[in-house]
Every structure is written in C-alpha cells, then in structure tokens.
Amino acid sequence: MDQHVDLDEDRHVDPYAVTDVSAESVNGRGVSAADPILVEIVEGTLASVEKEVETAIARTARSPMIRDAHDFRAGIHDVRLRKLTGRSYSALVQPIVRDFPVETMKPGDVYFHNDVYLSEGGIGHLPDLCVTVPVFHQGEVVAFVQAFGHHDDIGGSVPGSMPSHARSVYEEGLMVPPIKLWDQGVPNETALRIMTRNSRMPDSLAGDLDAECSACLMGARRLSELFGRYGRAAVEECFDAIIDKTTETFRRELLAKIPEGVYTWEDYAEHDGVDEPRLHAQRITLTVDHSAPERRSSRREGDEDAGQEHAPLTIDFTGTSPQAKGPINHAGDYADGVFLKKWLAPILRNLADTPERMAELDVNEGVVPLIKMIFPEKGTLLTPIFPAPTNARTFVILRLLGVLAGVLAKATGGRMPADQETIRYTGVHGVDADGQPYLMREVLGGGSGGRWYADGEDTIHVVPDSRNIPVEFAEARWPFRVERLALACDSGGPGMFRGGLGYDKHIRMLRDASYMSIADRSILSCWGVNGGLAGRPFRVEIAGKEMEGLVDDHPVQAGDTIRIRTTGGGGWGSPYDRDPRAVAADVRDGKVSIAGALGDYGVVLDGDRIDEQGTAELRANLRPTTDRFFDRGPGYARLSGGRTSAEVDEM
C-alpha cells in the first residue's frame, strides 16, 4: 500500500504526515470530484453502520455503565486516519498504525489499548478501553471501525479504577499499550485472562470486550460491502467530499460570525484530590484570522498548502496551570492536538443561525484544518508528564468546552450559551445479600446553560446518548431504594433565559456500603453570561453530612439516605428581564420556588397571580446599575481570596 505514517522524535504520530499518494480519489486540485448522489449514499451508510455498531454493543454488553448508561462511542475512520462520522466524538486510530503497520494487518484482527500516554491523546483515563478493527477491500486496509467506552473496573487501588486521591497512574489500574487482541478472528485468551484477572468485575469486563470486538467486526463487514458495491476509488472520493463539506460549512457558516481579533478567557477546576481546593486554571487565547487558509484535510503530498502552519482559528493554551498532584490532568498535547480539535469543535455549532441548523452540523475530521493549537511546555494540566494520574481528567477536558464558549461569548457579544453541566460519577460499592461484591456507579447529568433564545435544558448528559440508570433496574440489582428522582428546584442559574435544572436524587441504603464520588463544580458554579447569574453547584449529603466532590469510600450505614443534587446551568441575560409569566410558570412547575421568584427574579406572586406593580417596583430596587458580563457565583470568591471576577472577565 502507498500509505505511511511519520513519527516525531518521541515516536508519536504527526497527523499531517499520514499520506496516501495514490491520486485516484481526488482531482488535480486536491478537491473531491465525487458524485453528489453517491456522497449521500455513502454518508448515510456510514451513519447507519456507526449506529448499528453502537446498538449491537448496547444490546450485548454486560456492565451497567456500557449497557444502561451508554457511556461509550463508536467511530469510523478512513485509511488516512480521518474520522468520517460526526454524530459524536471518538478515540484515535493513530496509536494503532504507529505500532502495527497497515500492511501487517489481516481480516479478523482486533487491536486494543487503554494506555493514556501511548494513545496520542485519544484516551483520557484507564477505564476507557478502546478496540479497533481494520476494514479490508481486495486484500488492503481501506478504513477502521472503532469503539471505546468507560468500563466498570480495570484494577487499581479502588473499585471502579478511579482513585480520587491518586498521585500516580500506577494507582489507577492496568495500563495496556496497543496490542493485537484478536488475530485473524482468534481471541488472545492470554491477554484477556490478564485483563479480567486484574478486574474486580471480571465477568462484566469480559462480556463488554466481547460485545465491542464482535460489534466492530460486524461494522467492518458492513463497510467492506460498501467498498465492494461501489469500488474503492468512488468511496474514497466520497470520504473526501464528506470531510471537505464540513470544512467549508464550518468556515462559511460559523467561523465567519467571529470577528477577527485576539480573545482570552479562563475557567477553573476546584480541587485535585490531593491539595486543598484552589483554582486550577485552564486558559484559552483565541486568535481569529479569516485570511488564513485552512490546512486542507484531503490534501496529498505535493499540494501547494502542504506544511501550512496557519489556520483561521488558533487556540493557545498558554497560561494553563501546572499539572496537578492529583488525577485531574489530561494528556492532550499529542498528534498535534487532533483529539482536542474534534472535542472542542462542537462548541462552534452554537454560532449556527438556528438550533435546527446547529443540530444538522456534524463534527468530523473536516474541522481539524480550521484549528491550530499551541500547547505550553510539558508539565501543565494539559501537558502532564508520565506518570501523572489522569482518572478525573473530566474536570479539565470538560471545562475546556466552557472556556472556549466563554472566549467566543467575549468575541461575539454574548451569542453563546452560559456554562453547562459537567460530568460526575457517583455511586456505592459493597457486598450484597448473597455475599457478592457489587459496584453501582452512575453518571448523573445536570442543567445546560441558558441561551440567547431559550432556557437551558434540564438534566442533560454531556456525553452524547448517555443517560441515568433506570430506577427499576437499579433497585432490582443493588441493595438500595431510590426514594426520589426529580428536578432540583432553583438549581438553574437565574437569567432572562434560565439555566437548566439538575437532578435531585435520594437513595436509601438497605445494607452497609461505601459511597464514592468523582465530581467537580461542588464549590464553583456553572457561570452565567451577559448579565445572567451562576447556577447552583453540585451537593451531596449523607445522614445530614455534606460530602466533598472527591470521595473514594465514605462509609454509609443501612438506613442512611444519600441525597444528591447535581449542578444547574448558568443563566443568560439579566433575570430582571425575564418575562414574569415565565417565572410564574416555573413556580407552578416546581422549577423555581416562591422565594426564588422573589429574590432571584424580583417577581411578586399572590398565589397564581402576578403583582405587576409590586414586581416593577421590586425589580427597580434590585436591578444593579451595571450587569457583570460573567457571573462565577459565590464559590469563586471563596477560592480567589474574595475577588468576584477574574481579570480575563473584562470585556
């Protein structure tokens, strides 16, 4: 095959050195010449195969985290390692082809890895296990099908493999560099035995891996049929067209709405599990240059823009805090930051003309040429040095979504949502009535931020398609009762458009157990924007005692109740500009209390009736002379020495 991968001096992949010099799939200008009808067929087939793979995994996996919470993703990549599907994020193929040249691959091979520091930035923590299957046509590799997801337990010092006080990756579980897990359809039983032996949930892990490998092999057969039906040259032309369409659409419809200039903003993780809570900064300086030509994703060697180092958007992470002692680090500075580019790009969709148009826009490899990333020197939260722990890296990587949104809010005068919920893991572990160990871990969502045209969404899950564990399933499987599952009243940030609400969940334990939590936003809040106020932070109480966000094994007695309230999204616009009728409706629906209506929105209610004169007078007294563009909530003052805003908040 005329395909090769160049490595830098540290043996990591240069994503722009992956080339295929066979020119059959592009014309002389390096631009796709695919038939538009066939492009639609291929694009639909890719989406269908991706969905079929995910459905197969969900139906055959064994762990609640995969089967019920749906904390996994599938992705399809071409032979040049470009992500073709855009419904969700996925890991990378780069570490596989780095260690296993494509010419050595055979039909039925399945590759596996979860090593954070050898994943080229595609894996964030060890419980994320990734399988990759090559697709063959006429004896040559033409694409890859991949799945990766968060599994129950891969070893380490605590159940669930996410020790909140870890100081080293060695405490977090079993590290597996890229290996061949199946060889021409035959599983490597030795490797599988080693992995399941290290897991506290061996049957669950074995079942999940079997489901993922089998589903990806099925997806590879489906894609091979596509190549057989239309031929490699035609299908690869369509791949180029799909990716180039994304590049052009994002540049024309979204990037054009950002004024040229340089904009800086930062946000923070609040604790790392080792040091006392403090502000761990993640900073972005965004440079917008509409004259800069993007690096065309479908270029080949010899194209005029080969080696182009400019891009319309430059994201500079300089100013990000040093790496933490605890596990909140994220190794993002590999493979030119290609994973982070695709991770952050969905935020740009908020610039679309309508919500309907935003939902239509996929994020595939086409966004990569539009973004250049500049990383600070090794030793920061985003450039940690092995063996820094990473299991709670969600505190950083999810915060970056909000940092980019904040930068764009400054650039566009507020035409971005307020801050969204962030992921958290809560759960219990112990021994059931049959004497068997169990682990219940749940990814509970929270509220998204208010938008310039609408309220935020309630109890959304930032991981696409993921969900809470059904109450009926949980009570049938584990020794507790769910006594309440509701919206957390007043949790959404007040605003002209209110932030979405978080969950209010009460769990009564039937047996002694241990509570665990990997959660951020327990001090800091989801920020409000353009005069909107911050939402309420994450909070857990057990037998009346408030918990910290990072807990490994707090004892819970039979009969104790665990009360969980997840974060509310930030508000957008001044709450004193919210329609009083909308506030009254929120009170009627239990989303805002009567006290909240009065204190947060200045709305005076007399039963179901709005006191319009009293409301006007109260709002006149409550309205500040000037609204802060960003509101970070009271937790920021606690960690910043009393400051109510950061220097970067100034417009």
How far apart are alpha carbons 367 and 254 in whole angstroms? 11
Q: What percent of the chain lies above the pLDDT cut of 70?
A: 93
Answer whether residue 28 shows pLDDT above 50: no
- Residue pLDDT, tens place only, 189-207: 999 999 999 999 999 999 9
- Residue pLDDT, tens place only, 310-368: 899 999 999 999 999 999 999 999 999 999 999 999 999 999 999 999 999 999 999 99
| Amino acid occupying residue 616 | A
| Amino acid occupying residue 250 | F
- Residue pLDDT, tens place only, 393-431: 999 999 999 999 999 999 999 999 999 977 889 999 999
Rg (CA), the chain: 25
- Per-residue confidence (pLDDT) for residue 145, from 0 to 100: 98
Using pLDDT thresholds of 50, 70 and 90, give the confidence band for residue 21.
Answer: very low
- Residue pLDDT, tens place only, 259-282: 999 999 999 999 999 999 999 999
What the block records as the tokens of 477 is 């499987």
- Per-residue confidence (pLDDT) for residue 33, from 0 to 100: 77
Strand arrangement, sheet containing 539-542? 480-487, 503-509, 561-565, 539-542, 545-546
Q: What percent of the chain lies above the pLDDT cut of 90?
A: 86
How many CB atoms lie under 10 A from the CB of residue 4?
14
Give whole-number Cα distances, 193 to 61, 113, 162, 173, in Å: 18, 15, 22, 15
What the block records as the tokens of 485 is 């599952």
Q: What is the mean pLDDT of residues 614-638?
A: 95
- Please work out, in degrees rounded to the nearest 5, the angle formed at the alpha carbon of residue 413 by the alpha carbons of 580 and 285: 135
How far apart are alpha carbons 569 and 535 in whole angstroms? 5
- Per-residue confidence (pLDDT) for residue 19, from 0 to 100: 44
Q: Which residues contact 470 (CB under 8 A, 6 or more apart)?
A: 68
| The dihedral sign for the CA sequence 521, 526, 527, 531 | negative
Using pLDDT thresholds of 50, 70 and 90, give the confidence band for residue 27.
Answer: very low
- Per-residue confidence (pLDDT) for residue 30, from 0 to 100: 42
Q: Rounded mean pLDDT of the chain?
A: 92
- Per-residue confidence (pLDDT) for residue 26, from 0 to 100: 36
Residues written for the chain: 651
- Per-residue confidence (pLDDT) for residue 11, from 0 to 100: 58
- Per-residue confidence (pLDDT) for residue 295, from 0 to 100: 56
Strand duo 19-20 + 72-78: pairing: unpaired
- Residue pLDDT, tens place only, 378-396: 999 999 999 999 999 999 9
Phi, psi of 535 (to 5 degrees): -80, 180
Q: What is the mean pLDDT of residues 252-257?
A: 97
* DSSP bridge partners of 135: 143
- Reported in sequence order, the residue ranges of 453-599 that DSSP labels E, i.e. its strands, are 480-487, 503-509, 513-518, 528-529, 539-542, 545-546, 550-556, 561-565
- Per-residue confidence (pLDDT) for residue 15, from 0 to 100: 52
How far apart are alpha carbons 422 and 444 in whole angstroms? 9
- Per-residue confidence (pLDDT) for residue 14, from 0 to 100: 60
Burial (Cβ within 10 Å: 0-12, 13-18, ≥19) of residue 606:
exposed
Q: Which of 20-29, 545-554, 606-615 has the lowest mean pLDDT?
A: 20-29
- pTM for this structure? 0.92
* DSSP bridge partners of 67: none
- Residue pLDDT, tens place only, 584-600: 999 999 999 999 999 99
CA dihedral 328, 329, 335, 339 (to 10 degrees): 20
Using pLDDT thresholds of 50, 70 and 90, give the confidence band for residue 32.
Answer: low
Burial (Cβ within 10 Å: 0-12, 13-18, ≥19) of residue 432:
middle
- Per-residue confidence (pLDDT) for residue 294, from 0 to 100: 60
